[in-house]
Structure 1
Amino acid sequence: MLTVFYDGNCPLCLREMIALKEYDQDNLLQLENIYGESFNTRFPHIDPIRADKILHGQWEDGTLIFGLEVTCSAWKLVGKHKWIQVLRWPFIKPIANVGYRFFAHYRHSIAAVVSGKRACDRCK
């Protein structure tokens, strides 16, 4: 089981979580919105401010993973988008991680371009 802590105010993030849940036939993922009600109470060890900057995941044994490691692990668990594992190859991983950090930082602006509107007021 992998718990994914995602930004529920980001339409791109939300779209990906909906797709993951749709493919998760074996219930291997637990998806948690970092802006959801009682998040801080239920997950006091996850800082939502930090989780807003970089995607957080947690394996059942408590091990935390971050960024593309979460994305690649989640898609691998649901058996889809096998091509995404290329992003973990040793010679591609550092470049992919830089690309992810850029995307994560500008995801609300990217969402605005894609959807025509900003995801939330705090993103202005």
Structure 2
Amino acid sequence: MLTIFYDSACPLCLAEMRHLQRLDVKSAIRLQDIQHPQFEQRFAPLTKAQAMGRLHGLLDGKLITGLDVTYHAWRLVGRQHWVAPLRWPIIKPLANWGYNIFAKHRYRISYWLTRKQPCPDGRCSLGFKSHKEG
């Protein structure tokens, strides 16, 4: 089981979570919105500030971050071949560097790619399978 702490205010991030949900036929991924008002109370010691800095996940009780979360999410839905190169030793450092830039500027990059602004109230809905957001 993988729990992903995602930013629902980020249009591109939200689109990826929607895509993962559609592919998650085994219910192997649980999504938790870091914009939820009780996020910090529910997931201490992980703070919203930490979660806003980079993608976090819990994989079988172990905290993982960044592209490791992305890799395991796509692995669990049977699409690891899409992201496996990001974990190859020669590519991994460059991919992590690129991910860190994306994480820092995700709202701007999201807008450039989707032409959607961050959600005005800071929290959007996934629109389906909301029981996973719990």
After superposition, residues 26-41 of structure 1 pair within 5 angstroms as 26-41=26-41
Percent of aligned positions that are identical: 44
Residue number in structure 1 paired with 2:12: 12
After superposition, residues 38-77 of structure 1 pair within 5 angstroms as 38-60=38-60, 62-77=61-76
TM-score by length of structure 1 reads 0.90
What is the CA–CA distance in structure 2 between the aligned matches of 1:117 and 1:20, rounded to whole Å? 20
Q: Secondary structure at the match of 2:117?
A: coil
- Structure 1: 4+ residue segments shifted above 2 A: 114-118, 120-123
Offset, 1:59: 1.4
What is the CA–CA distance in structure 2 between the aligned matches of 1:111 and 1:57, rounded to whole Å? 21
What is the CA–CA distance in structure 2 between the aligned matches of 1:40 and 1:6, rounded to whole Å? 13
Corresponding residue pairs, total: 122
Per-residue deviation, residues 65-112 of structure 1 (Å, max 9, x unmatched): 000000011000110251311100011100000010011111100112
Q: Which runs of 5+ in 1 are unaligned?
A: none
Q: Which amino acid aligns with 2:71?
A: C
Offset, 1:40: 1.8
Q: Which runs of 5+ in 2 are unaligned?
A: 123-134
CA 1:117–1:11: 2 relative to 1, 3 Å: closer
Q: Secondary structure at the match of 1:95?
A: helix
TM-score by length of structure 2 reads 0.84
Offset, 1:41: 2.0
Q: Which amino acid aligns with 1:65?
A: I
CA RMSD of aligned residues (A): 1.8
